[in-house]
């Protein structure tokens, strides 16, 4: 990772997150643990029968039902909504959106109402009787849900919902897809600080961190946290919806926005943004064989469940990089598990090999 230029500001003060309103939804750090059986299974398929030592950060165990990376972002976003007197959270996502589900969970916990704009990114993929996260939307009591076609201006669609609420004498608070803005990105600055402390306490250092890269809030926020806290470990983002030419600028912009919000006197180096593509095809949320292998491998070696849309494809990327020799034997690699387990129930046949998937 690029060396940071000397700062004229007090970096410690800039990284003090207590300046920002925050709701705490997770009482303890999420587990940081090795995956010895998974590492052995992976090594067996790598050149020479040797592969990296893989660890996992269990952000799937964060608070808000039933856990996932969006919880960290919502700690700051919901605090801001409450400070502004909002009575309804408005957000958007795909039909099986983890972000929508966790936002709704936060709304329930805070006594707020919640509305979604759902983008049908794959034609005819929305079903009102679907399982997975959509079932939880209904169980947790989403107030209203608007389905729009792929390519819709989601910011404008959410603003229309907020305008409708205003006309009714209510106040909506719009949260962007994935909670990905500078304020939400503070959640993974906090995550970086937590990881740094855990590494110190457990006496472990990582050569590479692997994380999913989608709406960019987690990847960009984590990168800002690493830069601000001078953590030199490179972060590799595995794309879940875009290849590097389209994804890297989003991550860079998010990381810079978070740094600017913190008041850090630095420009995010472009070479600090490392994105890998090729594992998300044929399309966002559509399963492929490498994802199925990754989900099965971790489930059957460590008893940990990945999801088919995000973490399954991210782990497929980690496996692919190890087999290609880009993650090498002797390296300690950390995988950030960002959650999403409920959506496995919407892909049962594919994950059990009962239905064909893309190669």
Q: Which residues are catalytic?
A: 97
Q: Cα 120 vs. chain centroid, distance in angstroms?
A: 20
What crossing angle do the helices spanning 289-302 and 36-43 adopt, rounded to 10°?
A: 130
N-to-C CA span, the chain = 34
Which tokens is 36 given?
A: 């010895």
* Cα distance between residue 299 and residue 341, in whole Å: 12
Helix (H, G, I), strand (E, B) or coil at 185: helix
Please give the Cα distance from 81 to 86 (Å, whole number).
5
How far, in Å, CA of 205 to CA of 330, rounded? 12
Q: Are 120 and 150 in contact (CB under 8 A)?
A: yes
List the alpha helices (DSSP H) in 141-216.
154-167, 182-202
Q: How far is CA 16 from CA 186, 222, 264, in A?
A: 11, 15, 11
Residues 6+ apart with CB under 8 A from 236: 208, 209, 210, 211, 274, 275, 276, 321
3-state secondary structure at position 79: helix
- CA–CA separation, 102 vs 104, rounded Å? 5
């Amino acid at each position: 990772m690029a060396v940071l230029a000397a700062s004229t500001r007090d970096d410690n003060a800039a990284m003090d997150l207590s300046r920002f309103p925050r709701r705490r939804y997770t009482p303890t750090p999420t587990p940081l643990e090795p995956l010895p059986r998974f590492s052995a299974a992976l090594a067996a398929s790598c050149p020479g029968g040797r592969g990296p030592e893989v660890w996992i950060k269990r952000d799937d165990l964060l608070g808000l039902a039933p856990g996932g990376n969006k919880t960290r972002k919502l700690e700051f976003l919901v605090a801001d909504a409450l400070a502004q007197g909002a009575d309804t959270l408005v957000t958007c996502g795909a039909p099986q959106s983890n972000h929508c589900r966790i936002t709704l969970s936060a709304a329930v916990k805070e006594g707020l109402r919640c509305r979604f704009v759902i983008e049908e990114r794959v034609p005819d993929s929305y079903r009102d009787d679907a399982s997975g996260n959509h079932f939880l939307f209904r169980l947790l009591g989403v107030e209203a849900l608007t389905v729009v076609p792929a390519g819709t201006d989601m910011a404008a669609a959410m603003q229309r919902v907020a305008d409708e609420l205003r006309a009714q004498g209510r106040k909506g608070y719009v949260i962007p897809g994935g909670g990905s803005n500078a304020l939400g990105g503070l959640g993974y600055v906090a995550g970086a600080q937590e990881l740094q402390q855990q590494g110190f306490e457990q006496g472990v250092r990582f050569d590479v961190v692997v994380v999913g890269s989608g709406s960019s809030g987690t990847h960009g926020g984590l990168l800002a946290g690493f830069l601000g806290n001078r953590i030199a470990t490179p972060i590799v983002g595995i794309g879940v919806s875009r290849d590097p030419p389209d994804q890297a600028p989003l991550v860079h912009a998010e990381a810079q926005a978070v740094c600017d919000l913190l008041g850090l006197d630095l420009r995010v180096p472009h070479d600090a943004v490392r994105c890998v593509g090729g594992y998300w095809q044929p399309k966002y949320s559509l399963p492929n064989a490498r994802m199925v292998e990754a989900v099965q491998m971790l489930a059957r070696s460590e008893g940990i469940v990945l999801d088919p849309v995000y973490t399954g494809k991210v782990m497929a990327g980690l496996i692919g990089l190890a087999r290609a020799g880009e993650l090498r034997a002797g390296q300690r690699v950390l995988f950030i598990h960002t959650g999403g387990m409920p959506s496995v129930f919407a892909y049962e046949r594919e994950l059990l090999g009962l239905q064909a998937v893309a190669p």
